[in-house]
A and B are shown apart, each in its own frame.
Chain A
């Protein structure tokens, strides 16, 4: 028998497959956008929570009677804030979706939360350890490892009832808040970790972190 090749079928299938494929990519892009919108709403809601708490502080200035209330409020805000941070990192790490404006807004929230934490520490004798972590996604080989170790060390000391709050800032996305903190703590390299005001430049191992948190 003389064999033939069904070229017209192959070409037609190719054209249809390309159309279906492009449709898939298009729907996927819409989905990406909707994820960013969802996170924007979360940032907005968190911003309101923080503003409310700041107002409460102004009203009840330095009254230690309200400390338990503030602590519980801040814990709930911190939980949301941390989750939002992870979600933003997930978008960036795994989905390769860059949302620098959203990240800058998030850093402002982090800064607000940091100052409230600091104030709580002073006025309510709160023992929580406050960590500022400065990293870069572009020019830092140790930053990924350092991020993992800080989280891991926090989890380890949590079993000994030591509370650690972490505020991380990407120093290279043009966030004024991040840059302000970096000036304040004279951060000159990545990663840099500030534990209760003490600055540690370069990578710190998990064991060292645990030791510093346990002091």
Chain B
């Protein structure tokens, strides 16, 4: 067997194995998928820290949603940190001071720094971070806080979604968010939640004293803090229930979307490299499965890209005389395995999307997402991220 065959087989097996693993995990915990712990009636003080940089467009909707939370108003400590905005963000925020919202303005220093600034001033027993371009549903606090009855739980993540729309690109992102949410929930069963997303992840306030605040120089600070919590062997829980939904605004245009994803990818690669020391049995599934899985996925990506380029550019001269035939004849054993891999990925994606009963997405969007968005987006993101990785630019 030649090297090229071994690489083909390895990538195919890896993809099938990973998909099967996640599907098994889903079926094992399907009954508990939607279940959230019951609310005890306790209403601890919760600080909500909203870092905002040029968010005049979305901030009002965000604050309005927070003020309508189904939670005693006096038990909410809402903090807006204007991170040196050049638009009307501060003015919009100040209009809410009459409702008890505390507004701070600081010199622009990045999201991590703005979050830390707010956390230092927070009074609550629990601290929720909140992206200014997101908005909550009323019951989210009562849905998430009960997870903290378990004293080892240091953070809980909500069901971050994108509201339905008629825009195809927005629908694609909606599917993508559901897929991420599905994976995060499944990973929570393995104590391997990899990220505490910006929109309304709630933290036990004491964790910041113990492990420090957000990394101010990290491209994906919400992932880094989750990794640090994992490093200290604390639990992060994830909810997917409808009442724990937080809606976020996706980037308006393709350029912003690509920039955001490249930043995620770049930051992700850096963070996994930084925390590679956790690949040890003492870090359980997180150390022995999840971190290696990321490195394996990245390696598989480059192998597949290499194999594709080899197939495209290494065709014998004579195939130009039988172009169509050679395309048809290329459907060989590896293609069949490739088709199996595609089918498995589709099953996984379909399981992910259909696991959310309240979310209706057309099948054709799922198929289009898979063909035109998922693979191409990953391809673009990884290549750009690797190309840019030498640069140490950290920004919003």
Contacts and interface: CB of A to CB of B under 8 A. Distances in A.
Interface in B94-137: none
B325 interface: yes
Contacts of A1: 152, 191, 233-235
A140 B25 CA distance: 54
Interface string A159-185: 000000000000000000000000000
Interface string A129-173: 000000000000000000110011000000000000000000000
A21 B19 CA distance: 12
A73 to B, nearest CB: 20
A32 B289 CA distance: 36
A28 B337 contact: yes
A20 B333 contact: no
Contacts, number: 118
Contacts of A148: 316-318
A41 interface: no
A187 to B, nearest CB: 22
A86 B321 contact: yes
Nearest to B288: A5
B6 interface: no
B255 interface: no
Interface stretch (B45-53, B246-254, B277-285): B277-285
Interface string B257-293: 0000000000000000000000001111111110000
A17 B325 contact: no
B29 to A, nearest CB: 10
A143 to B, nearest CB: 13
Contact of B332 (A3, A10, A31): A31
Contact of B17 (A6, A14, A91): A14
B12 A24 contact: yes
Contact of B344 (A4, A20, A147): A20
A31 B333 contact: yes
B219 to A, nearest CB: 27
B328 to A, nearest CB: 9
B20 to A, nearest CB: 5
Contact of B321 (A12, A29, A35, A82): A82
A215 interface: no
A8 B16 CA distance: 17
Interface residues of A, number: 37
Given A13-B20, A24-B337, A32 B12 contact: no
B330 interface: yes
A9 interface: yes
A93 B326 CA distance: 11
A31 B336 contact: yes
B188 to A, nearest CB: 13
Interface centre among B152, B325, B332 (most CB of A within 10 A): B332
B298 interface: no
Contact of B319 (A17, A27, A29, A90): A90
B28 interface: yes
Nearest to A15: B20
A50 B283 CA distance: 72
Contact of A91 (B235, B329, B335): B329
Contacts of A91: 329
A32 B322 contact: no
Given A17-B13, A32-B332, A86-B321, 6 more contacts: A1-B235, A16-B20, A20-B16, A28-B332, A28-B335, A86-B318
Interface of A: 1, 3-6, 9-10, 12-14, 16-17, 20-21, 23-25, 27-29, 31-32, 35, 82-83, 86-87, 89-91, 93-95, 147-148, 151-152
Task: Give the 6 A-B CB pairs with smallest separation, nearest first.
Answer: A28-B333, A3-B284, A13-B21, A28-B336, A17-B17, A24-B337
